[in-house]
Amino acid sequence: MAGRGRGRGRGGGKGMSFSVETLGFGRGEALPAPTLQPPPLFPPLEFKPVALTTGEEMDYILALKQEFRATMKELPYYVKAQEKKKDIERYTDKYQTGQQDSSINWEPDWKRFPKELKIRVRKAAKIQAVVRPSLPKKTISRKADKDVLQTLEELEKKAVEIDAEKDEEDEEEKKEEDGEQEEEEEYDEEDLEEETDYNLNYFDNGEGYGMEDEDDNLDDGPTY
């Protein structure tokens, strides 16, 4: 009973999951001798890269490329990463000229830009000192002084006369307004008197209605 499981399987454990031919030798052949040398540093290249094209044209294009990269890095709008210095920050470090200071004076080719973008610096006009000619001083005569005083006195008199006329006109206007107010008061009193006279004389409550007709009939006499 205990030895039943020994004979199971094909070949008694000799079967392999891969073919021996893939290792470089067939069945029944002897194994190759072991290699004691190290493997090569670089394996052999099966596909070699294409050789570089050389010539004057390619050298000129390469020089242009390097020059273009250098100018782009020097322009002011090229953002560079700030390098952290291990030394202590000093006050004079702010005023040290960097690589970008040389590109501030860069002048573009304005032929490729519109005229509106070009900055125009206005030149300050030179202020010339005004030289006044030395004119002879005018001698003012005494007659001119008298004429000026007379004109001033005449103007004062005219101003006084105008003020007096205005005062007279204001007084006349006040008198006219007072007279109009008195006439209105008299007119109101007359109206009140007429209203009271009408109430007293012409009021009739209807008690003497028919008496006047009887008196008239008595005077005329009997009718036949």
pLDDT digit string (tens) for 115-126?
888 888 777 777
Q: What is the DSSP string of 136-174?
A: PPPPPPHHHHHHHHHHHHHHHHHHHHHHHHHHHHHHHHH
- The closest alpha carbon to 76, from 96, 40, 106, 48, belongs to 106
Q: Is the pLDDT of residue 11 over 50?
A: no
Within 8 A by CB and 6+ apart from 20, the residues are 26, 27
pLDDT value at position 134? 67
* Confidence bin at 1 (pLDDT 50/70/90): very low
pLDDT tens column, 55-106: 999 999 999 999 999 998 887 778 777 777 767 777 776 666 555 555 456 6
d(CA 99, CA 102): 6
Confidence of residue 208 (pLDDT cuts 50, 70, 90): low
Number of CB atoms found within 10 A of residue 100's CB: 14
Q: Is the pLDDT of residue 14 over 60?
A: no
Q: What is the pLDDT of residues 27-61, one digit of tens each?
A: 777 777 787 888 888 888 888 888 888 899 999 99
Q: How confident is the model at residue 7 (pLDDT cuts 50, 70, 90)?
A: very low
Question: How long a stretch of residues is the chain?
Answer: 224
Kindly list the distances between the CA atom of residue 20 and the CA atoms of 14, 15, 24, in Å, as whole numbers in the listed order.
Answer: 12, 11, 8
